[in-house]
Chains A and B, each alone.
Chain A
Amino acid sequence: DAGITQSPRHKVTETGTPVTLRCHQTENHRYMYWYRQDPGHGLRLIHYSYGVKDTDKGEVSDGYSVSRSKTEDFLLTLESATSSQTSVYFCAISDRVSYGYTFGSGTRLTVV
């Protein structure tokens, strides 16, 4: 979707290294989310943000941190990547008028 972009699209990293994934939106939506998608688990919420510098944990937040210094950017950081964090990561944005969610194209992260 043109209003939300994720970078990088693919990344391979080594165990123990830090990794930052970026989500950028041009829709000026207040709410932003990070999900991970794994076979057998569907999509699970990692962290979300309800405004600049306002963030909270989701159901699988251990090992992840987030930051939102501007409305348009939401960063997900793996401080020390582990093989269990190999996954596809999706960013989503939402407004509270339509309640619709728009997802980014995803980042495929492989931790070796």
Chain B
Amino acid sequence: GIQVEQSPPDLILQEGANSTLRCNFSDSVNNLQWFHQNPWGQLINLFYIPSGTKQNGRLSATTVATERYSLLYISSSQTTDSGVYFCAVRDGSEKLVFGKGTKLTVNP
């Protein structure tokens, strides 16, 4: 099945710093999403981005489907950005395959 790898596994930042999270996937996909799991466990859908670039406030995402990767950019990070960021892809089946996530800690 399709493989999803995220890097880095852990990231520690000072408030105000910028960061880039990466998601590599092993096969063609028709659905790619980024999620944020906050420290209380809630999963929030950030972007549906099978290709191209989207922006939402301080967050933006870019997917280059032909090269099988996606990037999530966080600018001017805040402590509320802490949590785990997941990339998830679907290859045409109903199964949304998740990467293992990047744990982000933003210190004040």
Contact = CB atoms under 8 A, between A and B. Distances in A.
Interface residues of B, number: 19
Nearest to A44: B98
A50 B43 contact: no
A31 B31 CA distance: 15
Interface in B1-51: 1, 31, 33, 35, 41-45, 48
Interface string A53-77: 0001011000000000000000000
A73 to B, nearest CB: 19
B95 A59 contact: yes
B96 interface: yes
Nearest to A99: B48
Given A42-B86, A42-B101, A43-B86, A101 B42 contact: no
B41 A102 contact: no
B94 A50 contact: yes
A90 B45 CA distance: 14
Nearest to B101: A42
Contact of A58 (B33, B95, B101): B95
A19 interface: no
Interface in A30-50: 31, 33, 40-45, 48, 50
Interface of A: 31, 33, 40-45, 48, 50, 56, 58-59, 88, 90, 98-103, 105-106
Interface of B: 1, 31, 33, 35, 41-45, 48, 86, 88, 94-96, 98-101
